[in-house]
Amino acid sequence: MDAPVLHGKSGGRDLTQGPIASTLLMFAIPTLASNILQSLNGSINAIWVGRFLGAQALAATANANIVMFLMFSVVFGFGMASTVMVAQAVGRGDIDVARRAFGSAIGFCTMLALVVAAAGWIWSPDLLRLLATPAEAFSLALVYLRVIFIAMPASLLSVMMMMGLRGAGDSRTPLIFMILSVAIDLVLNPVLILGLGPIPAMGIAGSAAATAGAGFISLIALVCYTYARDLPLRLRGAELRYLRPTAEQMRILFGKGLPMGLQMIVMSASGLMMIGLVNREGLAVTAAYGASQQLWTYLQMPSMAVGAAVSAMAAQNIGAGRWDRISRIAGVGIGFQLLITGTMAAAMLAFHDPLLGLFLGKNVAVIDAAWHMQIRVSWSYVAFGCTMVLFGMLRANGVVVKPLLILLLSLFGARIGFYELFYPHLGVDALWFSFPAGSLTSLLLAAIVYFQGGWRKATLLAPVHEEECRETVHAEGEPAGRIIPAG
């Protein structure tokens, strides 16, 4: 079967050619901009909630957002696995294999997202009790969380499609539709929270409903755009059969995606434990932690964007057999990450008063508590970013178990262990110093694995035989022209 060639097709970028630094930067900037926009949207929503609904509502959203991160982790790993498969196939110039991998991930994760959303609606109260959510914030958190669960399938499919497009070398299209989603959310939030014109005031449920509406609208627009522009990963006709994963595709998705998803679950489970510990310190500390989380989210954005860009670029180069570029990709990625995250951390510390005031108004006691956290935690995200770049390199060749073990050791061994050991001596400061303890541990372990070099010998994709392709595509007829959210 002749493999269609991607490069030169609308929407794709060849990451195997040209200077590494400028190519990586131009690919990473739209991803970073998308992440910042998403975080900015969350922060503005938090400003609306905190300023107009109070500290209890802000504490409620902080608890609900941790739960949502956990739920997203259930399917996010499969998206990362499909992204790497897409990128390696694109590096070889085989768009049919890229579509096969992407379609399998979309089809499987669509069903999984529906199940997770239904289960989340049912068990939301139990999840919030597990967090030890303060009683005064519980009812607000429950309303917020249940409305957000309604939007989960649309949000997850949007994320999956955007990740697949980036694997194919297109980081511009995801940015366009992130802008659309954020713009809709920003407009709907004050309207639904406060009630404008004939629309009744919905309070905290209005904030969640605005996010849900923005997710559904942007997903529909992204699907329509994908087919209207005939982007490389769209599925037509007999290709729609790729939405039913083969046994081999499921083996790869589970074998690689499950450990990647578990990485996210480990991170969110650690976050659940941390916010549970924070909640024990009282409502003021919980509200301060919620505001601090908003700023720390921005510090994570360069790490995640550069790590994703490095992973996609490295995967394409591995698929193309360009191992001569791999070490330079890692070095350039770490350099960019240090520069961007370091600069952002310094700026946030320098302007902490007005930044924290955005979320907390003139509540001096809570602002002081948040500043106390900031000076102890913020700089640790520089080390976290370097770890994400190294993880991205390992992930590009399908090495996913070692990063999972590193996260387990650093987040539960180092971070929680530090807290338990030093809380009797440092009090609440043991919570804040546990962040750098975990970040430095994970960076050290990731560097050891990367420089040992064994990850380079791994194999992610087995070649797809010509006859297998023919049989899968032509086995049954499929009506053409139907729009399917397959990217």
How far apart (Å, rounded) are the C-alpha atoms in residues 202 and 397? 47
Predicted TM-score of the model (pTM): 0.75
Q: How far apart are CA 189 and CA 182, in angstroms?
A: 10
Residue 228 confidence (pLDDT): 92
Residue ranges of the chain whose pLDDT lies below 70: 1-13, 43, 48, 51-71, 74-75, 131, 458-487
For 407-441, how does the pLDDT look when each residue is reduced to its tens digit (9 = 90+)? 999 999 899 899 999 988 888 888 899 999 999 99
Q: Which of 91, 84, 107 is nearest to 487 (CA)?
A: 107
Q: What are 260-293's pLDDT values in tens digits?
A: 888 888 887 787 788 888 888 877 788 888 888 8
Cα gap 325→331, rounded to integer Å: 10
| Rounded Cα gap, residues 318 and 2, in angstroms | 21
The whole-angstrom separation of Cα 421 and Cα 483 is 56
**Pairwise CA distance, residues 439 & 379, whole Å:** 10
What is the spatial distance between Cα 111 and Cα 131, in angstroms, rounded to a whole number? 27
Distance of CA 177 to the CA centre of its chain: 16
Identify whether the C-beta of residue 261 lies closer than 8 Å to the C-beta of residue 78: yes
Domain ranges of the chain: 20-474
pLDDT for res 440: 94
At 55 the pLDDT is 66
